[in-house]
């Protein structure tokens, strides 16, 4: 029997992100196929309205939010939910959603959008380099290095939260959707996780290939920050004055990079700033190629999916999950993620290739692996399997 009634659970961060797009897309996909979908959400903007006493109690809410627990239970019973699909629980929803689901004896699926179950900082990145200390030596490393928001107190709260729920064994109750094999292998480092309850299903996007005129520029879309490789990207294009780059997004390095472009006379790089989704899609569609140069593993890279959906190939760092989405010589190229000279070489290889072949292969990869219909079949297979 198909699980027709689905409850999607998601905690929005204060700043919008790719997870929000995934939630929106999956809800739409399920409804288009006739499922009854309920959406339970909280928003971390609520934290700004907390009173003094409630702020003091906030660390306890991260561990277990009674309001969430009772509201989820009520929804499951009143709507006769067949399956609960969780995306994000930090901070206000908390792991209490898992206990509510278990109490109601309804299967729960958790999509792994980051590495927070293994790393309090969620990205395996610290002080300019990849770090897996918590995986190798324990979560105490995160407290020592203030890995969550550069605060030892807030990091300690995250560590205590994770340890408590590891001890209760609730993580063993969950079913997991990992976006790539790389993430699945990392998750299975968590003691007690049953490999048969960990599935792989990538994200998807709605899109169709258009036949727009390709313009002579490359595009970067993301936060203008160190972890996204913004400075490394500028360093690479500085040595390629004949190649144009559009940097779409905003972040803490906006001013620094703008000053550098002006001071050093780098005129082949344009800082576009933040733009809305449809404008970004049009910019990606007209670009020669997308460049993703994150200095961390990333969990997936929705921007690559969006690029492929309009037939734009990708040039990405040969690391973590990014590498699984790009086949060199076909859908794009790879480079050593932290070396500007390696990115330059990858662009040279890309320019020497058949542009139309790259674009055709990118769109075919989207159609065969990342399209709504393919994703729906994979999601239904998971829903029918979990217990």
Q: Is the confidence at residue 1, as pLDDT, over 60?
A: no
Question: What are the tokens at 1?
Answer: 């029997």
Which of 210-224, 255-269, 319-333, 340-354 comes out lowest in average pLDDT? 210-224
What DSSP line would sit under 240-255, residue for residue?
-TTS-EEEE---TTHH
Question: Please, what is the average pLDDT of the chain?
Answer: 94
Output the pTM of the full model: 0.93
Which ranges in 217-354 belong to alpha helices (H)? 230-238, 254-263, 277-286, 302-309, 340-352
Q: Is the confidence at residue 54, as pLDDT, over 90?
A: no
For 238, counting Cβ atoms within 10 Å of its Cβ (0-12 exposed, 13-18 middle, 19+ buried), the class is middle
- Residue 2 — very low, low, confident or very high, per pLDDT cuts 50/70/90? low
- Residue 210 — very low, low, confident or very high, per pLDDT cuts 50/70/90? low
Q: Is the peptide bond before 306 cis (omega within 30 degrees of 0)?
A: no
**213: DSSP letter:** P
**CATH of range 5-111+169-204+371-385; options 1.20.120.450, 3.60.15.10, 3.40.50.2000, 3.40.50.2300:** 3.40.50.2000
Answer yes or no: are the C-beta atoms of 249 and 222 closer than 8 Å: yes
218-370 and 5-111+169-204+371-385 share a CATH fold: yes
Q: How many CB atoms lie within 10 A of CB 41?
A: 15
- Residue 212 — very low, low, confident or very high, per pLDDT cuts 50/70/90? low
pLDDT score for 209: 64
Torsion angle of alpha carbons 330, 355, 322, 43, nearest 10°? -130
pLDDT score for 97: 98
pLDDT score for 51: 75
**192: DSSP letter:** T
Q: Each residue of 81-96: pLDDT tens digit? A: 999 999 999 989 999 9
Top-confidence residue, 51 or 173:
173
**319: DSSP letter:** S
Domain boundaries, the chain: 5-111+169-204+371-385, 218-370
> Strands 175-178 and 108-111: what pairing?
parallel
Answer yes or no: are the C-beta atoms of 66 and 96 closer than 8 Å: yes
Q: Which class would CATH give 218-370?
A: alpha beta
């Amino acid at each position: 029997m198909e699980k027709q009634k689905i409850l999607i659970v998601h905690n929005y961060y204060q700043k919008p992100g790719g997870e929000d797009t995934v939630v929106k897309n999956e809800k739409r996909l399920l409804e288009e196929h006739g499922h009854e979908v309920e959406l339970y959400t909280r928003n971390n903007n609520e934290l700004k309205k907390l009173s003094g006493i409630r702020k003091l109690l906030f660390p306890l809410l991260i561990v277990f939010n009674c309001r969430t627990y009772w509201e989820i239970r009520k929804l499951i019973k009143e709507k006769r939910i067949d399956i609960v699909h969780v995306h994000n629980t930090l901070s206000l929803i908390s792991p209490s959603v898992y206990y509510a689901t278990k109490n109601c004896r309804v299967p729960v699926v958790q999509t792994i959008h980051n590495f927070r179950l293994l790393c309090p900082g969620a990205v395996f990145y610290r002080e300019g380099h990849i770090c897996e200390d918590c995986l190798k030596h324990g979560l105490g490393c995160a407290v020592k290095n203030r890995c969550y928001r550069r605060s030892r107190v807030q990091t300690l709260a995250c560590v205590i939260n994770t340890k408590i729920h590891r001890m209760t064994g609730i993580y063993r109750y969950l079913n997991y959707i990992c976006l790539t094999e790389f993430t699945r292998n990392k998750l299975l480092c968590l003691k007690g996780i049953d490999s048969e309850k960990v599935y792989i299903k990538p994200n998807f996007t709605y899109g169709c290939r258009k036949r727009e005129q390709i313009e002579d520029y490359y595009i970067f879309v993301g936060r203008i920050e160190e972890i996204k490789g913004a400075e490394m990207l500028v360093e690479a294009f500085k040595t390629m004055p004949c190649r144009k780059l559009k940097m779409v997004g905003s972040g803490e390095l906006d001013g620094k990079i703008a000053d550098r472009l002006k001071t050093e006379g780098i005129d082949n790089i344009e800082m576009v700033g933040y733009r809305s989704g449809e404008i970004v899609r049009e910019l990606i569609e007209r670009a020669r190629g997308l460049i993703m140069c994150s200095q961390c593993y990333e969990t997936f890279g929705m921007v690559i999916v969006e690029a492929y959906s309009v037939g734009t190939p990708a040039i990405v760092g040969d690391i973590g999950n990014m590498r699984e989405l790009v086949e060199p010589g076909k859908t794009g190229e790879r480079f050593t993620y932290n070396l500007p000279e390696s990115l330059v070489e990858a662009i040279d290889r890309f320019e020497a290739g058949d542009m139309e072949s790259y674009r055709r292969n990118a769109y075919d990869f989207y159609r065969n692996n990342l399209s709504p219909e393919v994703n729906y079949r994979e999601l239904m297979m998971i829903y029918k399997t979990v217990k």
